[in-house]
């Protein structure tokens, strides 16, 4: 449509002005995704939804975008419309961004690299990374190579993610949820020997996986949350599993979400074997 046609529809109320040269139909229900698309159209083809907004679209653990509209662009932009958080980057390669439905979004790897720049808590970045590793078994290796390549080219950013990758055992299985990720982070802060994740113990005719295991001590630790254990079937399975492990020499310490967040010293006191 030409300028006159647009002005006519704006005047009649058929179109609503959203951003410069970006409009929506009157009556179209507002949504976060609609705001993301409008911002992306305003920013142009050299932009992509990124950082917390991208993490929300990818449904990474621990990240609540809270309706934020966040983009990265390689183009110069002056006045940024209210409600848009715009990051400028010298580099946004074709491999860094692609289409997720109608939205151009940074890929999971680039999203994780960017996340540490805007999220103050490294635990959130780690939880997001672990959830991404669960979906893609090769992502850890790709991220490590990418970070090494960035360093060789003198780009020393992405420090939060770099620290997480450097500390993580490359052979470790991903955690199975944010609860386990935060528990492992707490163990690391205490200076404890790091456990084996998802260790398999054969008891009779069944195989039982222990979330965190110190094999030489025959000590296991398991986060226990209502999300996975509240049904009758889950309760029965947990009981059978606990009874089977009781027949072995393993000692299993159970940790609730409440204790992890509000009473970590209680958790630590239940692990005297690990104190140095």
Tens of pLDDT, residues 26-83: 988 889 999 999 999 999 999 999 999 999 999 999 898 889 999 999 987 778 999 9
How many domains are contained in the chain? 3
The pLDDT of residue 69 is: 96
Successive 10-residue mean pLDDT values, the chain, 276 residues: 91 93 91 96 94 96 91 86 92 88 95 89 90 93 88 69 86 83 90 90 85 92 66 68 80 89 91 86
User: Do residue 114 and residue 190 come from a single domain?
Assistant: no
The pLDDT of residue 156 is: 55
Does the residue 101 lie in any domain? yes
Q: Are 37 and 103 in contact (CB under 8 A)?
A: yes
The pLDDT of residue 47 is: 94
pTM of the model: 0.80
Range of the structural domain that residue 9 is part of = 1-28
User: Do residue 123 and residue 232 come from a single domain?
Assistant: no
User: Do residue 142 and residue 268 come from a single domain?
Assistant: no
User: Do residue 194 and residue 74 come from a single domain?
Assistant: no
User: Do residue 91 and residue 61 come from a single domain?
Assistant: yes
Does the residue 173 lie in any domain? no
The pLDDT of residue 80 is: 92
The pLDDT of residue 39 is: 96
Measured from the Cβ of residue 54, the count of other Cβ atoms closer than 10 Å reads 29
Rounded CA-CA distance 40/37 in Å is: 5
User: Do residue 247 and residue 189 come from a single domain?
Assistant: yes
The pLDDT of residue 57 is: 97
Does the residue 198 lie in any domain? yes
The pLDDT of residue 138 is: 92
The pLDDT of residue 170 is: 85
Joined tokens for residue 177 = 């949820």
User: Do residue 51 and residue 155 come from a single domain?
Assistant: yes
């Amino acid at each position: 449509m030409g300028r006159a046609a647009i002005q006519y529809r704006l005047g009649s109320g058929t179109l609503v002005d959203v951003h410069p040269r970006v409009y929506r139909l009157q009556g179209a229900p507002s949504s976060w995704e609609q705001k993301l698309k409008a911002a992306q159209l305003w920013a142009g083809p050299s932009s992509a939804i990124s950082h917390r907004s991208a993490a929300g679209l990818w449904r990474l653990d621990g990240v609540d975008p809270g309706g934020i509209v966040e983009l990265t662009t390689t183009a110069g932009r002056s006045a940024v419309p209210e409600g848009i958080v715009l990051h400028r980057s010298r580099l946004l390669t074709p491999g860094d961004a692609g289409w997720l439905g109608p939205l151009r979004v940074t890929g999971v790897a680039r999203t994780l690299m960017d996340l540490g720049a805007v999220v103050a808590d490294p635990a959130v970045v780690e939880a997001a990374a672990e959830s991404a590793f669960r979906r893609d078994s090769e992502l850890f290796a790709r991220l490590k190579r990418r970070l090494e390549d960035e360093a060789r080219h003198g780009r020393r950013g992405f420090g939060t993610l770099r620290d997480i990758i450097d500390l993580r055992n490359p052979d470790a299985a991903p955690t199975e949820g944010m609860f386990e990720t935060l528990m492992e982070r707490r163990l690391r802060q205490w200076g404890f020997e790091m456990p084996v994740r998802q260790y398999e113990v054969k008891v009779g005719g069944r195989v039982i996986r222990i979330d965190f295991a110190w094999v030489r001590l025959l000590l296991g630790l398991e986060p226990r949350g209502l999300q996975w254990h509240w049904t009758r079937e889950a309760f029965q399975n947990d009981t059978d599993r606990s009874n089977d492990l009781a027949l072995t020499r393993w000692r299993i310490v159970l940790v609730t979400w409440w204790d992890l967040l509000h009473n970590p010293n209680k958790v630590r006191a239940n692990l005297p074997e690990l104190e140095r």
